[in-house]
Amino acid sequence: MKIKLVTFGIAKEIIGAPECNLEVKVPCNIGDLKQILMTQYQEFKKLQSIKFAINENYQEDHFLLHEGDEVVIIPPVSGG
């Protein structure tokens, strides 16, 4: 199935684009997607925490993805 990744900050730098399409197996949950990203993009392993919003709603690792979902990768942020 195909999903759309939207990236910001360091996630955008790691993937090299603000958006991309990704083909994943069915079923696939956010935990599975994290593993796929860490395999394809080794730099994701260095990040302490990554959050995911699916179709504009934050979701946890057990959430199942569906064809055409928009997955926003929200990297850790720091501020001051």
Give the residue extent of every domain in the chain.
2-74
What is the tens place of the pLDDT at every residue in 7-20?
999 999 999 999 99
Q: What is the longest distance spanned by two Cα atoms in the chain?
A: 41
Whether domain 2-74 has CATH 3.10.20.30:
yes
What is the tens place of the pLDDT at every residue in 22-64?
999 999 999 999 999 999 999 999 887 899 999 999 999 999 9
Q: For residue 2, what are its two tokens?
A: 């195909």
pTM: 0.90
Query: With bands split at pLDDT 50, 70 and 90, how would you rate the model's confidence at 79?
Result: low
Mapping DSSP to helix (H, G, I), strand (E, B) and coil, where does residue 47 land?
A: coil
